[in-house]
Structure 1
């Protein structure tokens, strides 16, 4: 298994992972060809310094992914933080340590980029994910809120 920054060739597999669960199936569109919105979004991520999607690969097949965004800040004495989003592991690989290894890789990347903390949000319905994050040392210290804006 290896970890690397995703390129556009990984995008269909990433979208497949995002759509491959109960919640993702209601908000993602994995189809061929991919909707242009995914291609445009990926191009914006690639252009932004400190924003990347990391993939876990097994024999060059994408088996996991997450988005890692570095956010410089003023609060907490100018602490730079990392935001992790879009975490998915292929259903055939869940429970095999891929997720933990992917997170350890992302944590090390964030540390190397000078981050003093990592934050993430997770849907309240994802109880297994909550246990996973807590096992990695994450603490549910805040309540997150979202405001969906129409496009």
Structure 2
């Protein structure tokens, strides 16, 4: 049996929710997300040009999920793809399905005219860094992230 990669559909949502909850057991927002919330977000992804939710299937089971956003950039005057995240079902974590799904996403990005792909990886997780390096990504020195509702602390110039 061969792995199969495709865009997610509504019928995949129960498996996707299980995978994402299993990958983030300490993420309270993920744990309390409702089936309706998943449906709403997948509808938004489907309607928004440049947003993709891909799944990797093996033996009629969804074993990996990848979210990717493609956007135009002035830097390089082209398109960039950002892999928002890739998640694997516990039973598929050492199967290589997640890496094959990343390869599929890279091909999709290339087909969409992207000149560059990027991904954010957690600072202290060496295993995650190794995964991305095996997929051909180059580690950069610094990245920053914040929540949209976080208060900014400005210093006044006197």
- Short-chain TM bin: 0.7 to 0.9
TM-score normalised by structure 1 residue count? 0.87
- Partner residue in 1 for 2:107: 108
Rounded to whole Å, the distance in 1 between the matches of 2:90 and 2:108 is 25
- Partner residue in 1 for 2:41: 41
Asked whether the 8 Å contact 1:15–1:29 carries over to 2, the reply is no
Rg larger in 1 or in 2? 2
- Partner residue in 1 for 2:155: none
- Partner residue in 2 for 1:85: 84
Question: Which ranges of structure 1 fall in alignment gaps of 5 or more residues?
Answer: none
Per-residue Cα deviation, 1:40-71 (whole angstroms, up to 9, x for no partner): 21111110012111000112211001012111
- Partner residue in 2 for 1:75: 75
Per-residue Cα deviation, 1:3-58 (whole angstroms, up to 9, x for no partner): 0000111112112111113xx11221267xx3432222111111001211100011
Asked whether the 8 Å contact 1:65–1:88 carries over to 2, the reply is yes
Asked whether the 8 Å contact 1:53–1:67 carries over to 2, the reply is yes
Deviation, 1:104, is 0.9
Per-residue Cα deviation, 1:88-141 (whole angstroms, up to 9, x for no partner): 111212222212211111111100110001001122243211101011111122
Stretches (4+) displaced over 6 A: none
TM-score normalised by structure 2 residue count? 0.84
C-alpha RMSD of matched pairs (Å): 1.9
- Partner residue in 2 for 1:144: 143
Asked whether the 8 Å contact 1:50–1:71 carries over to 2, the reply is yes
Rounded to whole Å, the distance in 1 between the matches of 2:148 and 2:14 is 26
Question: Which ranges of structure 2 fall in alignment gaps of 5 or more residues?
Answer: 150-158
Rounded to whole Å, the distance in 1 between the matches of 2:59 and 2:128 is 26
Q: How many residues align?
A: 146
Secondary structure, aligned partner of 2:122: coil
